[in-house]
Structure 1
Amino acid sequence: MTSADFAPPAASRTPRAGRNYGLLTAAAIITSLGTHGALIAAAFAVLESGGDAGDVGLVAAARTAPLVLFLLIGGAIADRLPRHRVMVAANALNCASQAVFAWLVLTGDARLWQMMLLTALCGTGQAFFNPAAEGMLLSSVTGEHAARAFAFFRMSMHGAAIGGAALGGAMIAAMDPGWVLAVDAAAFAVAGTLRAFLDVSHIPGRAPGGGLLADMRDGWREVASRPWLWAIVLQFSVVVAVVGAAEAVYGPLVARDELGGARPWGFALAAFGVGTLGGALLMTRWKPRRLLLAGTLCVFPLALPSAGLAVPLPVGALCGVMFVTGIAIEVFGVSWMTALHQEIPEEKLSRVSAYDWFGSVAMVPLATAAAGPVETLAGRSQALWGCAALIVLVTAGVLLVPDVRNLTRRTAGVQGGGGAVPGQAAKVSADAEGTVGGLG
């Protein structure tokens, strides 16, 4: 199976649309290999420098705080400038910040404020990259094969994550975490080079607008007019925050104190990657008629890793929980991306994606920074049980929104970038799949 399998008929696409899909997939695989190991490395670099749970949380919060500050601006810019240029510039910033981070860790001179600053720069790059990348991917495929293409994209990306997480954990156990950060910097350099060759000639030119603020208001109107969209964005503002606290802060601590160190935690994250691979493979075949209903039901299992860490489960059982969670989140992810592709006009994809990402990360800095103090006040196990309970509660709440239960997939006439008009979400009828969303 290749990217050509997902290219739309020649009559409905430019000749190089399939090439864009291939370049985007290759670049995502490369960055996924580096990033999944680097996330583990950053946490253990803080711990090995003498930091505690609060310091790990501060560094994690420093990565996500710039996302909250710059995402909406990044989305508006990505709908104004050529998206591939925004992506390349962001990759260059990520490469530089991770390279300096690696050098400081390897030389033993890394201080907390330096690690926070460098991760903040990396987060700034992601604030501009994420909306541009999602808009570029959504516009790279059209027609009835779009959902299958999104599933294959995620399957490829998560396949790389399996090796990245396992290799990262193994490298940290055998050598300095700085080397894992150096590999991540190199991955950003290679991926940015590939993205420089993306072709944006098939994307219609944007009419002059009233400025960045006007573009952001226009994006907000697109979100506010669709109850299914803003409800799920609000849901994931809580879900991603508590998952971030559990996996970025409590997970490494439980691994260090209860599971034997970085290697078992790397295996657990790799099991999640295997699950996402299986879930994406499933979504290349399964087409649930009510795509958001199926996807939202599969958010409930995201409570399982927090509960498993609270017990804590043995390594093998924890890996099993992470595997099931990976499958479930891919069902949601593919359904979500298909809904965006189907419903949102192409020229507004990056702005809407920016609000999606903004909702997903807005509370992460607060949650990760508060993780250490909450552990001190309530205990680690109680904090993790609280994370699990919040995920269940907000997911049950979003099922009360009729559009979430009723939005269905159209099997014909979907030519990418969403031809749907505002308010159409509750009226379309057919089937669906998708990808990314706030966890993407």
Structure 2
Amino acid sequence: MLRSWSFLRLWTGATASGLATWALPFILGLAALERSITAVELGVVLAARTAGFLVAVPVAGVLADRHSRRRVVLWAGLVSAVASPVIALGLGRSVLLMAAAAAVVGAGQGACRPAFQALTAEVVADEQRQPANAALTISVRVTTLVAPGLTALLAVAVDTPALVVATGVLWLAAALVPPSGARQAPTGPTAGTRFSADFLDGIREARRHPWFLAGLGALTAVIATGYSATGVVLPLVSRDRYGTEAVLAAALTAYTVGALVGALVVARWKPRAQGWAALAGLACYGFAPLSLLLPVPAAVIVAAYVVAGLGIELFNVPWFTATQREVDPRALARVSSLDFLLSYGLAPVGLALIAPAIDHFGPGPVLAACAAVCFAAPALAALVPSARGFRVVR
């Protein structure tokens, strides 16, 4: 099944959307280094993109359950493809134009996420979904590992606006390449019902799965604390404790390599208590803030980031697979949108709060608290009976 033409098209479209999503902040960062935009303008544009993402995710969840998931992917990709060159047009001219276009791109990105999740369940048979989800996440990790150097090389020959336009081409591929799913007619809510009622139906479906609520709570806690703390503190530790930026680069690379290895492992590994194993993997992120807290050799920090990356994919792949298996197909996009809305949506909140907390309490207490949350939240989620296998036994 994973060698089928349909899955190859799905994988290619999802990879193109992931690459476009990753590339824009990096390219705009290059523009800031070139002084085409200021650091403040960069922050405004990226914040606008995040806002567009958060607004679009719940809307897209409802639309992808009302209509064809393939159609939602198509329009989301086309919207982002059209808006991307507008960002390039605004570079060095109008931050307002850039921010507005970035919000539209973010909306397209947000609309793609739940629709792709639901489309995967339509294209891939149940027994093949875990390796399929692993293959999809491997493409993201390889992109993260290879793309920075490739983009930097391209920047030598191509100017920054052209690179931004290139992300629009990637969005065009994400719109046009994916296949149609098995569902030919809407089986979810009809267009005549109210959006709020449809979204609340999705929440009710999520509540039918206690393992989902527990896992989502643990994931959100880890991202809002551990991920945010390490994002702020790692550059400071690299500079102040070790006197070099090499530790920062090595730790981030180690995280990606660990995640890549984790995805390769979980493509075939199906433990009996899969939910518990996944939550244990999620808890491994606690080693990242713990390593920054302690006066350890730089190699220990790098190793901790390998373990954190490995663990996060041991969680992600079974998590996505279980959601696609257990949730009512008619509500899958809405439940997936709830997942992305909380886990990714609260990450900026965590980043905004971590820096003031460090200024007030110091990095030590903040890192200790974040590490404790990363270990405790998955452990508490594992206490929910249905969390053992990520399924409700009826």
TM-score range, shorter chain: 0.7 to 0.9
Partner of 2:2: 3
- Indicate how the Cα distance of structure 1 residues 50 and 222 shifts in structure 2: closer, same or farther if over 3 A, else same: same
Distance 1:304-1:165 versus aligned 2 partners, 3 A rule: farther
What CA distance in whole angstroms lies between the structure 2 residues aligned with 1:301 and 1:355? 24
Give distance in 1, aligned partners of 2:324 and 2:112. 18
For residues 16-55 of structure 1, what are the structure 2 equivalents within 5 Å?
18-40=4-26, 42=28, 51=39
Name 1:292's counterpart in structure 2.
Answer: 275
- Give the counterpart of 2:251 among 252, 258, 268: 268
In 2, are the aligned partners of 1:95 and 1:186 still within 8 Å (CA)?
no
Check the 8 A contact 1:166/1:270 in 2, yes or no: no
Letter of the structure 2 residue corresponding to residue 279 of structure 1:
G
Post-superposition offset of 1:32: 3.7
Give the alignment of 1:10-409 within 5 angstroms.
18-40=4-26, 42=28, 51=39, 61-95=47-81, 97-101=83-87, 107=92, 119-167=102-150, 179=160, 183=163, 185-200=165-180, 202-207=182-187, 209=190, 210-246=193-229, 248-251=231-234, 265-310=248-293, 316-407=299-390
Do the aligned residues in 2 keep the contact of 1:36 with 1:165 (CA within 8 Å)?
Answer: no
Deviations 1:83-103 (A, max 9, x none): 233223323444455545456
Question: Does structure 2 retain, via aligned residues, the 8 Å contact 1:40–1:266?
Answer: no
Conserved 8 A contact 1:103-1:178: no
In structure 2, C-alpha distance between the alignment counterparts of 1:403 and 1:332, rounded to whole Å: 16
* Structure 2 counterpart of 1:240, one-letter code: I
Q: Which digits, 9 at most, give the CA deviation of each residue in 1:19-50, with x for residues without a partner? A: 33111212333344454454455567668766
CA contact (8 A) 1:32 1:161 kept: no
Task: Indicate conservation of the 8 Å contact 2:45/2:98, yes or no.
Answer: yes
Which residue does the alignment assign to 1:426? Answer: 393
Q: Residues 350 and 333 (structure 1 numbering): CA distance in 2 closer, same or farther, change over 3 Å?
A: same
Whether the 8 Å CA contact 1:310–1:385 is kept in 2: the answer is yes
* Alpha-carbon distance in 1 for matches of 2:365, 2:28: 25
- Whether the aligned pair in 1 keeps the contact of 2:13 and 2:174 (CA below 8 Å) is yes
* Cα contact 2:84–2:167 (8 A) shared by 1: no
Percent of matched pairs sharing the same residue: 28
User: Deviation of residue 223 (structure 1)?
Assistant: 0.4
RMSD: 3.6
d(CA) in 2 for partners of 1:296 and 1:203?
32
- CA apart distance, 1:226: 1.1
Matching residue's letter, 1:230: L
Contact 2:206 2:327 in 1 (8 A): no
* Separation in 2, partners of 1:264, 1:100: 37
Distance 1:395 1:312 in 2: 26
Is the 8 Å Cα contact of residues 245 and 364 (structure 1) preserved in structure 2? yes
Query: Can you list the C-alpha shifts for 1:276-320, whole angstroms capped at 9, x where unaligned?
Result: 221111112211112111100111111222334455866654433
Tell me how many residue pairs correspond in the alignment. Answer: 389
User: Normalising by the residue count of structure 1, what TM-score does the alignment of the two structures yield?
Assistant: 0.75
Which letter does structure 1 place at the counterpart of 2:109? Q
Change (3 A) 1:243 1:89: farther
Identify unmatched segments of 5+ residues in structure 2. Answer: none
TM-score w.r.t. the length of structure 2 is 0.82
Give the whole-Å Cα distance in 2 for the aligned partners of 1:283 and 1:267: 24
* Structure 2 partner of 1:431: none
Say which is worse superposed, 373-382 or 288-297, in terms of deviation.
373-382
The answer to whether the 8 Å contact 2:286/2:375 transfers is yes
The residue identity in structure 2 corresponding to 1:154 is T
Q: Which amino acid aligns with 2:73?
A: M
> 1:34 touches 1:183 (CA, 8 Å); kept in 2?
no
TM-superposed deviation, 1:141: 0.6
Does the CA-based 8 Å contact 1:219-1:352 persist in structure 2? Answer: yes
